[in-house]
Chains A and B, each alone.
Chain A
């Protein structure tokens, strides 16, 4: 999957690509090393939140002005990146992708995923005090200032909710924009399920200390 994602990104003239390999056991390393991208490898698996932190820190160290989080499983659309950048250039600190705004790919989402996300939304509102359209969307863009202002503690899936809370705590400006997400068998298998809910809630709790 990652190969076609890289090809699309490079074809769209995005040249400063950072790939964080969170200890993959497949051919990811060989594939990525064929392309002109920064390849960072976690020598042990630390989770999605940790991988995004490594990549974001690296980009900030390399003087990146804009950092876009983009999944390698092919579910995000390269065409959407331009609108994230536009919004950041328009003065926003953080831009978040949403699957539920007009023109997004809502129709392609399976019902059980929708149910799960409604639950996440209610939880985030009641417990974390944040109200976003699509709380578990990994498609986001940070300005350099925003990335320097906060780091998330959660290594695993709870980083999504934590980032939303950090935006609020740090009083950063943000915008939610519609994105199209292509659900494939592959990306659904890799995504979150009901069994992850408790883990996320627990992680959010324990990382408060």
Chain B
């Protein structure tokens, strides 16, 4: 076994330990727990037996395990960015709602006796 494999094994075991710790303290939802569990176990399996990654790579047709990892990572990052953009857009809209609310509740109107009442027909928005 290479040094990298030992490092990865220790890393994944620490990850699993931390995960169980977090679950016991109730910091994680069950769905997130399962996702993290699968991720750490996958890392542990690949660290112990690198052949698994190559077998998977052959299954997908990318040839090498490392290649599959990179492709997967790129797809993952794209999805993540898209999710972030949507989240930002949603926050943008919420900020607008807030700004609009503040504007509508702090209306300035010059006192003018000649002003007609607001129910009359002509309303102009600038």
Contact = CB atoms under 8 A, between A and B. Distances in A.
Most buried by B among A15, A35, A207: A15
A194 interface: no
Interface residues of A, number: 52
Nearest to A52: B125
A149 to B, nearest CB: 17
A126 interface: no
Contacts of B120: 15-16
Given A33-B110, A41-B103, A53-B100, A71 B93 contact: no
A72 B110 CA distance: 19
Interface in A51-80: 52-59, 61-72
Contact of A55 (B93, B108, B125): B125
Given A54-B100, A61-B104, A36 B126 contact: no
A85 B123 CA distance: 10
A64 B123 contact: yes
Contacts of B89: 206-207, 209
Given A53-B100, A57-B100, A155-B93, A33 B108 contact: yes
A118 to B, nearest CB: 28
Nearest to B101: A54
Contact of B107 (A36, A38, A52, A206): A38
Interface of B: 85-86, 89, 92-93, 95-96, 99-100, 102-104, 106-110, 112, 114-116, 118-126
